[in-house]
């Protein structure tokens, strides 16, 4: 960016065209382009989310209120207030473009609406409370899986590895073919039900309240081990398979032969020549599978009743709490789009062949 703007300033002293060129330069800039695409994804996704309920011709709020009225449960008391609240909140009698702009405006302020099932609580409250659990678990696991899987794949794709490694890692790779939530069930059965080493479900021991103490921290770790491993195993396999393929493709390359001919140490060729180059497509892969990892985790959380957004999503579906479901979908899409944007921004740092600023 700096190089480009400098070049622009040097070449054109006259102010008129240079401003246009700076503007086109900015819009042609890699980062700006990527950011615009990020906004585009978010906008399109929210539009789809806005349109879907209108297409089906059903009103989730009315449906829910009707359902509750039929059940005649404890919800009866809040019905009037709720109905009024929604009428005012969404201006349902207003034309559709005003509803649409209201919706976008709310989103821009990260206002996800109000829960139907837990009426006075906002969706923001519910979602962000559980998001901490999900992000904590997922962040650790994804990072760990990326490192471990890439390393395993690199070793597997390396022709000069010891022979026994294949027999250790190959069975691990087949785990990539097993859905995470099934692995979760198997792990629960073995380590929680049969052996009783780890807790069966939840994010912390039932009856305790989240607090900042060492004992609670240990408890949280204990509860996180099984869900973490359920996700870790299958994701590790994914990375290892991709990396192995890249390493095999790398073998015939000229620079590999040259490094070999120079008499470099095997470890140096491995790390600096093979792994360094095979790593790049892996990073792109991370952006592609992020969605799968998130949805996989949502289901693992469901199996473990882990207090993350997966469990909230299940509860919301059970209670047909449309706004919480919508809120979770929006948050996940925002998260994935944001992470992809970040990866794209970081990519040029890893790959010097890509020049930032060139369109």
Partner 1 sequence: MTESVTTPKPIDPTESDGWNQFNTDRVQPIKRYALRNPSLIWGCGLVFFLMLFVGVGHVVWDTEQFRPLSTPTRLAPTLSHAIVKGGELTGEVKPFPFGTDTAGRDLLAVAILGTPLTLRIGIIAGFTSIILGTVAAFVAAYYRGWLDGAIRSVVDVGLAMPGLLILILVRINIGRELSVDEMGLALGLVGWVFPARTIRAQVLVMREQAYVELSRLSGTSGMGIIFKEMLPNLIPYITASLVGSVAGAILASIGLEAIGLGNFSTPTLGMTIFFNIQFSSITLGMWWWWLPPLVAIVIVFLGLFLISSGLDEWSNPRLRKRV
Q: Which residues bind partner 1 (CB under 8 A)?
A: 37, 40-41, 44-45, 48-49, 52-53, 55-56, 58, 60, 63, 159, 174, 176-179, 181-182, 185-186, 188-189, 193, 200, 245, 248-249, 251-252, 288, 291-292, 294-296, 298-299, 302-303, 313-314, 317-318, 320, 322, 325-326, 328-329, 332-333, 336-337, 340
Nearest residue (CB) to partner 1, 4 versus 181 = 181
Q: How far is the CB of 159 from partner 1 (least distance, A)?
A: 6
What is the maximal distance between C-alpha atoms in the chain? 81
Sign of CA dihedral 134, 139, 151, 345: positive
Q: How far is the CB of 177 from partner 1 (least distance, A)?
A: 4
DSSP 251: T
Cα–Cα distance for residue pair 235/245, rounded to 1 Å: 16
Q: How far is the CB of 234 from partner 1 (least distance, A)?
A: 10
Nearest residue (CB) to partner 1, 4 versus 242 = 242
Nearest residue (CB) to partner 1, 186 versus 215 = 186
Nearest residue (CB) to partner 1, 22 versus 200 = 200
Nearest residue (CB) to partner 1, 4 versus 234 = 234
Cα–Cα distance for residue pair 292/234, rounded to 1 Å: 11
Q: How far is the CB of 214 from partner 1 (least distance, A)?
A: 29
User: 124 near 112, Cβ under 8 Å?
Assistant: yes
List % helix, strand, coil for the chain (3-state, nearest 5).
Answer: 80, 0, 20
Considering only CA atoms, give the Rg of the chain: 26
Q: How far is the CB of 302 from partner 1 (least distance, A)?
A: 6
Q: Residue 10 CB: number of other CB atoms within 10 A?
A: 8
- At residue 93, φ and ψ (nearest 5 deg) are -90, -5
């Amino acid at each position: 960016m700096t190089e480009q703007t400098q070049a622009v300033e040097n070449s054109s002293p006259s102010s008129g065209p240079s401003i246009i060129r700076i503007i086109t330069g900015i819009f042609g800039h890699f980062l700006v382009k990527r950011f615009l695409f990020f906004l585009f994804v978010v906008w399109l996704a929210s539009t789809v989310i806005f349109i879907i309920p209108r297409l089906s011709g059903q009103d989730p709020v009315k449906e829910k209120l009707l359902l509750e009225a039929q059940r005649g449960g404890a919800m009866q008391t809040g019905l009037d207030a709720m109905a009024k609240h929604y009428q005012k909140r969404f201006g349902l009698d207003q034309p559709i473009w005003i509803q649409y702009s209201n919706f976008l405006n709310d989103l821009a302020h990260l206002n996800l609406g109000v829960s139907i099932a837990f009426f006075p609580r906002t969706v923001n409250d519910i979602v962000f409370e559980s998001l901490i659990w999900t992000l904590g678990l997922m962040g650790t696991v994804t990072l760990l899986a990326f490192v471990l899987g890439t390393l395993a794949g690199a070793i597997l794709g390396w022709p000069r590895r010891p022979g026994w490694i294949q027999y250790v890692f190959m069975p691990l790779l087949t785990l990539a073919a097993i859905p995470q939530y099934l692995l979760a069930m198997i792990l629960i059965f073995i380590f929680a039900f049969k052996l009783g080493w780890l807790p069966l479900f939840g994010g912390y021991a039932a009856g305790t309240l989240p607090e900042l103490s060492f004992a609670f921290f240990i408890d949280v770790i204990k509860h996180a081990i099984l869900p973490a491993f359920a996700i870790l195993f299958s994701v590790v396999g994914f990375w290892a398979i991709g990396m192995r393929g890249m390493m095999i493709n790398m073998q015939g390359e000229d620079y590999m032969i040259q490094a070999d001919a120079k008499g470099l140490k095997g470890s140096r060729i491995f790390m600096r020549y093979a792994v360094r180059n095979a790593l790049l497509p892996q990073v792109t892969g991370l952006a592609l599978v992020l969605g799968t990892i998130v949805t996989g985790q949502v289901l693992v959380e469901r199996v473990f009743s882990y207090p993350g957004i997966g469990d909230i999503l299940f509860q919301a579906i059970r209670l047909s709490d449309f706004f919480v479901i919508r809120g979770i979908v929006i948050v996940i899409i925002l998260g994935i789009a944001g992470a992809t944007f970040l990866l794209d921004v970081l990519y040029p740092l890893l790959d010097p062949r890509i020049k930032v600023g060139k369109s």
